[in-house]
Structure 1
C-alpha cells in the first residue's frame, strides 16, 4: 500500500457542451459551441472536444468559430440543465466515495481513506466512478480523474490525460511526472506570473521544480512561493483563507435588447439578483460599479461609494444615479453588468446613524426596507422568481436568464431563474 496517495480529483470534460450533446443526441460526435445568446457578436462559453480539435475554445467569437470549424453547431446555453447535471454527477461520485468539496460546476475532489491508497485500488475506483457517471447521468458526459499525494497535484493529474482520462501521480514519480506540463498548465501561473518566472530564468516546469524555495519566494513575492515549492513535492498544505471581495452579474445583450430603454430593465434585474446573493451570504456592500459595453464603442465602468447596505431599494437608487450619468445616453449597448464591492460581514456592520444621500433617511426606513427585502426573498425562494419582483424588472421577465460560470454554481434560489424566465 502506498500511503502517499491522499487526494482524488474529478473533472468533467467539456461539461456544458457534453450536457448539450446528452440533451440532443443529434449533436453527439459533432462539433458544438455553446453561446450565452444566439448572436453572431457573442462568443463560445464552452466547446465540445470535436470543436476544440479545430481550435475553438472558451472565448472564441461565434464568427471566428464558424471560420475555424465549418459546420459547427452553435447552441444557446441552458444553465438550469447544467446545474441539474452537476448535481447528478455529484450524486454518482458520492455513491463511490465521499465528495470532500465541490470546487466548481465541473470539478470536485475527495480524500482517499488510508486503506484506499493502493494505486491499483485507486485505479479501480476511478473506473468505478466513470461507469457510475455513465450509467446514472449519461454515457456522453465523461470525467477525467487524477490522484496524487495532495489536491494540487491531483488536479494537475486530472488535466494530463484529458478527455476521459485517469492518471495517478505517486510520490516516487515526482517531479519527473510533471515535466511534460507547460508553465501555463499550473494552477496559479497566469501570463504575468509566467513572465516573472521567465525573468528569473525559469522557462519550464522542470526548471521550476528544480528551483529553490528562496527563488520561488522571490518570484511570488512572499510565502505563496514557499507554498508552491512544498505542493510540487507532494506535501499537504492547509487551504488558504479566501475573503469574498465582490458580488456581481453581467449579461451580453441579444440584438433585440440593445436599446437603452430595453437594456435598463435587464440591468435592474442583474442588480436584484446580486442583492439577493448579498443577503444570502450575510453581507452588506459599500460600493456599486456598473459595467456598460457600448456597441462598436468603449466600455464604461463608473463606481459609486456609500454607507454599507444590503437594501435593494437603496442600491437601486445608486444604480439609477450611475445610469443617468452614462455617456452617449442614446447609444446602443452590447453588454450590461453590475458589481457590489467593499463587502462587509453584516455581523460586523454598524448601522448609519445619520443617513446619506442614497441611503435610508432614518433608521425607521432602514427597518422597513429590511422587512421588505426579507419578505420578497422568502416568497421568491418558495414560489419562484416571478411570483414577486420590483417594478423596474417587469420588462425583463423573459430576458437575462440564469447564467453560470465554471467557478460559480448558483444558489438554490437563483437556480429557479431559468425555470421561471422560460
Structure 2
C-alpha cells in the first residue's frame, strides 16, 4: 500500500503559542489556564512543564506545587486562532491541506507522484522549515506519514515532540505494539474497559483481533473501521450533520446573582444565534440548563417555530429564565442549546399566523413584513459585529455581561473570528 497521508500535529500548541508571542516565556515551564484562578486547571502545558508532571487537566494550585517556578498565563483564544491560520498557510505553501481537523491538527493527501518515501520525508522537512520561517521557531510540529490518515495520526504521536515518523505497510502491525491502548485514536477510558472485557489488554492483542471481534467490542461498524485502518486501508469519513448549537459558562463570583446571570444567558444566546446563522441553520428548540451555587440543577426545553432571528431567540431565553425555580438563588453555571436544527433552505414557513390575521381582520402589519424587518435588523447586526467585534452592537439583554463567556476553543471546532470574536 502506498503512502497516501501526511499528518501534522502541533506540539503543546497553546503553550507554544504563548512562548511564541511572549519571548520571556521561552524555555520556561508554562501552563495555560482558561481563567486566572487557583481552582482552574491547565488546558495546556509546555514541555518544560510536562517534565514536572504537569499535563492537561492539572489544577493550577497543584501545578504550582509540582513546579514552583511555573508561569501560569490566561488563554488567548483569538490569538491562537489567528496564529492557526498562519500555520495552515505555511503548510499550504509546501503541500495542499486536505482538511483541518482541530486547532492543532491537519492532514494532507499525498498525490500519486509524491509517494516515494524520500519525497514524503522531504515534504515533511519543508513543512517544518516553512513553519519556522513564516511563523516562528517556537512552534514545533510532529509529522506522521502512512498509508492512511488514521495511521499517519498515530505516527505523529509516536515521536513527539518535533518528531517525524514514516509508517510503511511492511511495518504493520509491529510498529504499533509500543503504544498503550489509550494511545490509540478512538480508544477512551470506557472503550478500554470494553476491550478488556473482550480479552484485549494491549495493542498487540488489538492488532491480532479479528474484524468480527472488534465489531462486537465496539458494538458498531466503528470496530470494522478500526480493523481496516490498522491494516493500512483507506476508510472514508462518516458524514455527520450538525444537530445543535450551544454554549455554557461557569460564572465568576460577580456574575452569580440572578440579574447578572440573566445577562450572561443573553450573551450566550446571541453568540449561539450568530453561529446558527453562520451555518445557515434554523433552530426548532431552545433549552436552558442551570446549576445552582448551593447545589441542585434545573433544565427545561421549549419547542419553537423554526427561526434564526436574534430578537425571537432573546425572547425565548427570557421565557425560559422566568420558568426556573428558586428565583433568588445564585447560579454557578449556565448552559443553553439551540436544537433540532434544520437547513434554512429546506424550511417552509408556517401559514397560520397570516391566516389568523386575515380571519380576524387585524390591522397590524402582516407577519411576513414583520419577519422581514427583524431579519434585516439581525443581518445588519451581524455585519457590524463581524467588522467591529461583538461588543460594538448587541441586544440590551446582554448588557453588563459582554466581557463574560469569552471565546473558547473546543476539540474539533475552530472558532471563526468573524463569528466568535469579542
TM-score, normalization by structure 2: 0.91
Return the match for 1:387 from 392, 400, 406.
Answer: 392
State the 1:66 CA deviation: 2.3
In structure 2, the residue matched to 1:21 is: 19
In structure 2, the residue matched to 1:228 is: 226
Return the match for 1:346 from 344, 347, 352.
Answer: 344
Q: Map of 1:108-147 to 2, 5 A cutoff? A: 108-147=106-145
Whole-Å separation in 2 of the counterparts to 1:300 and 1:124: 56
Whole-Å separation in 1 of the counterparts to 2:366 and 2:307: 13
**SS at 2:143 equivalent:** strand
**Structure 2 residue 334 is matched with structure 1 residue 329:** no
Deviations 1:27-49 (A, max 9, x none): 12222111111122322222212
When the two structures are aligned, how many residues end up with a matched partner? 411
Paired residues of 1:153 and 1:234 also in contact (CA < 8 A): yes
Paired residues of 2:211 and 2:223 also in contact (CA < 8 A): yes
Runs of 4+ in 1 over 4 A off after TM superposition: 360-364
Deviations 1:246-278 (A, max 9, x none): 211223333333333223222211110110110
Paired residues of 2:271 and 2:420 also in contact (CA < 8 A): no
Paired residues of 2:81 and 2:417 also in contact (CA < 8 A): no
Cα gap change, 1:296 to 1:412, in 2 (>3 Å):
same
Paired residues of 1:42 and 1:252 also in contact (CA < 8 A): no
Q: Which runs of 5+ in 1 are unaligned?
A: 418-422
Cα gap change, 1:61 to 1:352, in 2 (>3 Å):
farther
Paired residues of 1:37 and 1:253 also in contact (CA < 8 A): no
State the 1:415 CA deviation: 4.7
In structure 2, the residue matched to 1:420 is: none
Q: Which runs of 5+ in 2 are unaligned?
A: 354-364
Whole-Å separation in 1 of the counterparts to 2:253 and 2:366: 40
Whole-Å separation in 2 of the counterparts to 1:154 and 1:189: 16
State the 1:296 CA deviation: 5.2
Whole-Å separation in 2 of the counterparts to 1:381 and 1:407: 22
Paired residues of 2:31 and 2:70 also in contact (CA < 8 A): yes
In structure 1, the residue matched to 2:92 is: 94
Paired residues of 2:142 and 2:156 also in contact (CA < 8 A): yes
Whole-Å separation in 1 of the counterparts to 2:294 and 2:127: 48
RMSD: 2.1
More displaced 10-residue stretch of structure 1: 237-246 or 390-399: 390-399
TM-score, normalization by structure 1: 0.91
Whole-Å separation in 2 of the counterparts to 1:352 and 1:54: 61
Whole-Å separation in 2 of the counterparts to 1:229 and 1:43: 36
Cα gap change, 1:285 to 1:99, in 2 (>3 Å):
same
Return the match for 1:369 from 354, 374, 381.
Answer: 374
State the 1:362 CA deviation: 4.3
Whole-Å separation in 2 of the counterparts to 1:25 and 1:317: 47
State the 1:382 CA deviation: 3.2
**Structure 2 residue 403 is matched with structure 1 residue 398:** yes
In structure 2, the residue matched to 1:47 is: 45
Whole-Å separation in 2 of the counterparts to 1:160 and 1:94: 24
In structure 1, the residue matched to 2:263 is: 265
User: Which one has the largest radius of gyration?
Assistant: 2
**SS at 1:396 equivalent:** coil
